[in-house]
Structure 1
Amino acid sequence: MINKDEWLIIGLITSCHGINGQVKVKSLSDFEERFLKPGMRWLQKDNEPPSKIELLSGFKQPGKETFIVKFQGINTRNNAEQLKNSKILVKTDKLPKLKKEEFHFLELINLEVKTLENDELKTIGKVINLENEKNNLLVIELFKNQKEVFIPFVKEIVPLIDIKNNFIIISPPNGLLEL
């Protein structure tokens, strides 16, 4: 279950854009409106507490997974430089409603990972993270050796997700867990 008092990182400010205080944002969200629709967001630099800031406007760079956004009060390149490497956050109580068989990243963290071997479920690890550079990959820590493995988050390899009972079943191709 999602803790409503937690933060969700939806993007990372990577650099400045132009001279009028705009910044380039790497999206960590499937919901583009988070960078397009004006409203309150929170920024976090390093391990400082999050601070409130208003998103005024944004647009997606054509052909890229990055956005150019403008925040209230950030009007010069020097102001924008101060935001570099900041995380853009939203409260988990602001998560969009999903369709059946869609999941929020936070719901997957700490789920047990099981495989079906000889008609028997075997617990092999737990989900510790999600990488989404080009494709969504579950980062799984294996119990037997504490090794981290990356599993493509696709129906063919992750056929069952049971949030209520706190586990997923994976069906990895031969050798994937040994990589």
Structure 2
Amino acid sequence: MEKYLRVGVISSSHGVRGEAKVFPTTDDVQRFKKLKTCILDTGREYKELHIESVKFFKQMVILKFKEIASIDEVMQYKGKDLLVTRDQAVKLEENEYFICDLIGLKVVTDEGEDFGILTDVIQTGANDVYAVKCPNGKEVLLPVIDECILDVDLERQQVTAHIMPGLVD
């Protein structure tokens, strides 16, 4: 499991006083109002940043950090990830998972056969869809519905699926 979870990416500066325009990568953008700190992945190191203020502008979040005072400082971090630790993460409901925890899980059928590796989670609105790379190189899309996805076991790093007729060829 990942130690840190990405909540946003610095896209540019906002104004000249060191505010950062952040593209949120979290489902709950309001979570930024509750955050006191986050971690900046500079590519070479992790820097803890203290959040002084939060504003929202269109689909972006405008953050002012105590440690960043100018437009030039913000611009050196353009494209860099903002992370939180697992204890700062949004609490999940039962049968909810962070996508980063699902990627790479082994997928087996309800008959015990190896089916492939989960490579992506596609969010469609109605229900998520798991993209699975099969041993033969083909990609199969499995709808995340009770009839298809029977179990997700993060400890065993495994998803058990019922392969419904028509999903494969």
TM value normalised by structure 2: 0.74
Note the alpha carbon deviations across 1:58-80, whole angstroms, 9 max, x for none: 23334x2x312111132322222
Note the alpha carbon deviations across 1:97-148, whole angstroms, 9 max, x for none: 32211112343233212345xxx34322122455669896645333222x66
- Counterpart of 2:115 in structure 1: which amino acid? I
Deviation at 1:158, TM superposition (A): 4.0
Cα distance in 1 for residues equivalent to 2:146 and 2:48: 38
For residue 143 of structure 1, the aligned residue among 135, 138, 147 is 135
Q: Tell me which residue corresponds to 1:53.
A: 49
Deviation at 1:42, TM superposition (A): 0.8
Cα distance in 2 for residues equivalent to 1:33 and 1:41: 15
For the aligned residues, what is the CA RMSD?
3.2
For residue 24 of structure 1, the aligned residue among 18, 21, 26 is 21
For residue 98 of structure 1, the aligned residue among 87, 92, 115 is 92
2:80 maps to 1:86:
yes
Deviation at 1:43, TM superposition (A): 0.3
**Which runs of no fewer than 5 residues in structure 2 stay unpaired?**
none
Cα distance in 2 for residues equivalent to 1:81 and 1:110: 34
Q: What SS class does the counterpart of residue 58 from structure 1 fall into? A: strand
| Identity between Structure 1 and Structure 2 (%) | 25
Cα distance in 1 for residues equivalent to 2:133 and 2:64: 38
Deviation at 1:33, TM superposition (A): 4.2
For residue 11 of structure 2, the aligned residue among 9, 14, 22 is 14
Aligned residues: 167
Q: Tell me which residue corresponds to 1:39.
A: 36
Deviation at 1:18, TM superposition (A): 2.2
For residue 167 of structure 1, the aligned residue among 134, 158, 169 is 158
- Counterpart of 2:153 in structure 1: which amino acid? D
Greater mean alpha carbon deviation, residues 85-94 or residues 158-167: 158-167
Cα distance in 2 for residues equivalent to 1:54 and 1:132: 31
Q: Tell me which residue corresponds to 1:114.
A: 108
TM value normalised by structure 1: 0.71
